[in-house]
Amino acid sequence: MITGATSGIGKAAALQLAQLGATVVMVGRNPQRTAAAIEEIRRRSGNSHVESMLADLSSQQEIRKLAENFQASYQRLDVLVNNAGAIMLTRQKSTDGIEMTFALNHLNYFLLTNLLLDTLKASGAARIINVSSDSHQGAHLDFEDLQLEHNYGGYKAYGRSKLANLLFTYELDRRLKGSSVTVNALHPGLVATKFLANNGLRGRVFNLFVRLVGRSAARAARVITYLASSPDVEAVSGKYFVEHGLVESSQASKDKTTALKLWQTSEELTGVPPSSTEKMDLPETPTTDDATQEAATDVSQVDEGHKVDGSPDGRGPSE
C-alpha cells in the first residue's frame, strides 16, 4: 500500500514496484486522478495487479474506513508506504479539529500504521516506510503549542511534522523489537515538481531553481523502492535513508522522552488504545525561538515529494 500515490514520488514508486511484479494498492483522494494513475501504471508496467482505494487522509474517520476496507479485501500487507503529505501556508484545521499539517503529515501515519499493524505482523517479514524530509533538521516539538495556535508558519509546521515522522519511526522500531516487521524513514531529496509554482514570486523563483537542480520523481522514488524490495534491508529497522544510503538524523529526532510523549499524545488525539508500554513522568520539552525555528526550516530544505497549498480555503495534499 502506498499513500499519496497519484502524483510525485508516490506515483513513481507505485510504477517501479508494479514493474517488479508487486500487487500495488494506490491510495488517493481524488477519484478521477486516482483512476487515471491506475490506468497509466497498469499500461506502463504491464501489471494488472495495480488497484486503488480512496481516502482523505486528513480525516481519521476515512483513515479507519480505509484500514477496514483493506483488511476486508486483502489477506496480507507486506509493505506500507506512508507518503501522503502537504504544506499549509495558512493555518487550517482538519475535519477532526486538528491543525492540518500535523493531522495529515503525522497523525495520518500514526493512525493508519497502528490500524494495519496486526495485518503487517501476520504477513511475515513486512516493512513500514515513512517518507520524512531533511526539513526536520532544526525542528523541535513544543508540546505546549503542538498545533501551532500561536505564531503559525507553514514551513515551521512542515518541519515539525517531518520531525514527528522520525520520532514515530524510532519509537515504533523500539516497540516492534522481537517481531518480523521493520520500519524505516527516508528523505527523498529535492524533486523537480511544480511544488510552489502557484504561490507568488517566491514560489515561481523556487520552482525555477528546483527545475534546474532537482532530481526527477522517478529518481527520488528509488529509495522507496529499495526499502520496499531489496533483500539487503530485510532485517534493517529504525534507520533514516537518503539516496546514497544511511544518514544520521537530528539529535532532536533521537530523543526517546520526546518520542514517547509524542506517541502518548498521538494516542489521545486519534483514539488508538494506549499500548502496554509503561507510561512515565516526562519532563517539559523546551521551546525553540520562533525566528530560529523558521530559519531552520527554510524553503530550500523542503521535500518536493509533497504538495503545497497556498490558498486560504484549499487543502491540496498529495493525492
Residue range 126-171, pLDDT digits in tens: 999 999 999 999 999 999 999 999 999 999 999 999 999 999 999 9
Q: What is the mean pLDDT of the chain?
A: 85
Q: Are 303 and 188 in contact (CB under 8 A)?
A: yes
Strand partners, 191: 215
Rounded Cα distance between 196 and 210, Å, is: 10
Q: pLDDT averaged over consecutive 10-residue blocks of the chain (319 residues)?
A: 96 98 98 98 98 98 99 98 94 98 98 98 98 96 97 96 99 97 93 48 52 71 97 97 92 98 98 67 44 37 41 39
CA dihedral (311, 318, 136, 221) positive or negative: negative
Superfamily name with CATH number, domain 2-309: NAD(P)-binding Rossmann-like Domain (3.40.50.720)
CA dihedral (136, 140, 145, 149) positive or negative: negative
Cα atoms found within 13 Å of the Cα of residue 58, Cβ hemisphere only? 23
Catalytic residue among 109, 152, 155, 158: 158
What counts of helices (H) and strands (E) characterise the chain? 10, 10
Buried b (16+ CB within 10 A) or exposed e, 216-242: ebebbbbbbbbbbbeeebeeebbbbbe
Q: What is the pLDDT, as a whole number, of residue 288? A: 43
**CB-count burial class (<10 Å; 0-12, 13-18, 19+) for 213:** exposed
pTM for this structure?
A: 0.84
What amino acid occupies position 212? L
Strand partners, 80: 128
Tens-digit pLDDT profile for residues 209-240? 555 555 688 898 999 999 999 999 999 999 99
Rounded Cα distance between 202 and 43, Å, is: 37
Rounded Cα distance between 236 and 292, Å, is: 34
Q: What is the pLDDT, as a whole number, of residue 135? A: 93
Q: What is the pLDDT, as a whole number, of residue 208? A: 60
Rounded Cα distance between 241 and 186, Å, is: 5
Rounded Cα distance between 223 and 301, Å, is: 18
Residues 6+ apart with CB under 8 A from 180: 121, 124, 125, 126
Rounded Cα distance between 143 and 164, Å, is: 12
Write out the three cell numbers for 197: 509554482
Told to judge if 74 belongs to the known catalytic residues of this protein, a careful annotator would answer no
**17 CA to centre of own chain:** 18
What amino acid occupies position 101? T
* Beta-sheet strand order (sheet of 127-131): 50-54, 24-28, 2-3, 79-82, 127-131, 182-186, 240-242, 245-247
Rounded Cα distance between 102 and 65, Å, is: 20
Q: What is the pLDDT, as a whole number, of residue 216? A: 82
